[in-house]
Structures are given as C-alpha cells and as structure tokens.
Amino acid sequence: MNRTRVFTQALITLSVFALGFAGYLLVLSSIQQDRSQTVLYAQARQTLAEISMPTGGKIDAGTPVVVLEIPGLNLTQVVVEGTAGSQLAQGPGHRRTSPLPGQPGTSVLLGRAEAFGAPFGEIGKLQPGDEVRATTGQGKFTYRVEGVRREGDPTPGALPRGSSRMVLVSAEGGDVTGPERTLFVDTTLTGQAVAAPGGRPRTQLPEEDTLATDTGELIDLVLWLQVLALAVGFFAWARIRWGRGETWLVGTPIVIAATWQVYHSGAVALLPNLL
C-alpha cells in the first residue's frame, strides 16, 4: 500500500512539473523575455546615444547590436549578438558570421516562433514590399521584403556587389516538441550600404545553428536540478521541525525560484533555438 502511494505521489509530482514547464514555455517565458527586452532597450538607447554600439570585430554574445522594427507586425525588438538558445531567450539574435544590417552582404537574424515572447512568430505574414527597419551604430536602414520562403524553396539570386540583404529566420508548424520547418523572409536594403569594419568571426558554434539546442546550458540545468532537490528536501525537513505554516511561508519562494531556473535552463538547453 505504501509503495502504491509513493508511486502515485511521484506520478502526480512529475505531472505537475511537466504541466508547469508547459505553462512556463507558453506564458511565463514571454514575461521573462519582455523584461529582458526592457533592459536591452535601455542599453541600446544609451549606446546609440553615445555612438558606442558595436558595429564590427568580435562582439560579446548577448550584446545589443540592432533595434529592429517591423511596422506591419507592430513589432519592435532589440537584437543581440549570437544565435544560441540562451541569446534567443532574450530576443532575436544576429548570426555572428554575417555582416550587421546596413553593411554589404547578407545579414542573418534568428528569432523564436513560440516561446520567449515569440518575436518572429508572425513574420510569415509579411508581404513583398513591406518595410523592415534596422537601427545600428552606423545609422538607420530601411529594407523591403522580397518574399517568404520555406526550407527547400529556391533562394534569392546573388547580391550585386556592395548591396545589402537581411534575412529573418524562424520556424513554423509542429508543437512544443519541435517546429516542423524553417521559415525565411528575404529583405533588400533600399538605400546605400555602409562600410563594414573587419574582424568578424568566420566560424560559429554548433549551438548557434538553425534549430540547434544550447548544450552549454546543460551544466546550468544539472546544477539547478540539484538546487531544486535540496530545496524540496529542506521543505520536507522543515515541515517536521517547524510545522506546516512556517514551512510554506519560508520554503515556497525558494522552491518556486529553483523551479523557475530549472524551467529556464531546460527550455534553453533541450529545445530548438527557434521554438
């Protein structure tokens, strides 16, 4: 009887944990991303005002590099450097091996389609001729949408020398276990491109690729799982020593905080970066 009760309680606990994870992905991660965007926007405004926003060379991952505006979607997002899952949890990310918007060549920006605010969740609705605006440390640039394509569709032709293209990349279809296909929106700069400083990286990490998982976050996930286990153990011990009321008052915030961090690390480490 005791074994049956323990097994039932374990199943209930796992079910609640799984439901909580789904709730985090669909609701709470958006709140977290919104806060990240607020902080990033303040940083971007300051660096733009000081003319210190980086425009080339090696840029630290997570640094704001572009303020992206898509009027047709009523979307404004701060784009950070890097496309691993941990960066795309903050907002859209700029592929480090591509030039920044406004510079000659093809700039590539990746953004999530479902979790963490889903900033690129509706880019498939863009139509040819729609505007996409990018503000960097080198000025403001306006791009026009050429078209929307899926993985396997023909790619646009080669750019004329000195021209600039920006590609928005996300995913569509599928469910929380993974997207069904990759989505691309090709845009072309309407004005003149500006010179690109040298020193850009030539290689990218495996976790920065399209639909990759951020294995670097697995260490954080394991550590936070250990913290959560300790918190639950403390909760059980405190109920015996202190009583129910005191335990709920002191232990609940600790368990919630540890669970939040486990959800965040798990979402970043185990799920594709475009989800």
pTM: 0.89
Q: Cα(182)–Cα(140) distance, rounded to whole angstroms?
A: 28
* Whole-number pLDDT of residue 112: 96
Average pLDDT over residues 249-263: 83
pLDDT band at 177 (very low <50, low <70, confident <90, very high): low
Q: Are 129 and 40 in contact (CB under 8 A)?
A: no
* Whole-number pLDDT of residue 185: 98
Q: Cα(36)–Cα(88) distance, rounded to whole angstroms?
A: 11
Model confidence at 76: pLDDT above 90 = yes
Query: Is 161 or 8 the better-scoring residue by pLDDT?
Result: 161
- Name the strand (E) or helix (H) holding 239: helix 218-241
SS3 (DSSP) at 46: helix
Beta strands in the chain (DSSP E): 64-70, 75-81, 93-94, 105-110, 131-136, 139-150, 164-172, 181-189
What are the domain boundaries of the chain?
16-275
* Whole-number pLDDT of residue 13: 73
pLDDT band at 129 (very low <50, low <70, confident <90, very high): very high
Range scoring the smallest mean pLDDT among 54-68, 133-147, 230-244 = 230-244
* Whole-number pLDDT of residue 174: 60
Model confidence at 176: pLDDT above 70 = no
Model confidence at 1: pLDDT above 60 = no
* Whole-number pLDDT of residue 43: 96
Q: Are 25 and 79 in contact (CB under 8 A)?
A: no
- The single residue listed with the structure tokens 């691309």 is 184
Query: Is 17 or 211 the better-scoring residue by pLDDT?
Result: 211
Average pLDDT over residues 265-274: 88
| Burial (CB count <10 Å: 0-12, 13-18, 19+), residue 257 | middle
Taken in order 173, 71, 162, 154, is the CA torsion positive or negative? positive
Average pLDDT over residues 32-55: 96
**Distances from the Cα of 19 to the Cαs of 24, 25, 54, 92, 191, in angstroms?**
9, 10, 41, 27, 49
Extract the tokens encoding 250: 């002191």
Backbone dihedral angles phi then psi of residue 135, each to the nearest 5 degrees? -110, 125
Q: Cα(160)–Cα(6) distance, rounded to whole angstroms?
A: 68
CATH value of 16-275 in 2.40.260.10, 1.10.760.10, 1.20.200.10, 3.40.50.2300: 2.40.260.10
- Name the strand (E) or helix (H) holding 31: helix 29-49
Nearest to 209 by CA among 114, 78, 95, 116: 95
Percent of the chain with pLDDT over 90: 61
Q: Cα(123)–Cα(110) distance, rounded to whole angstroms?
A: 11
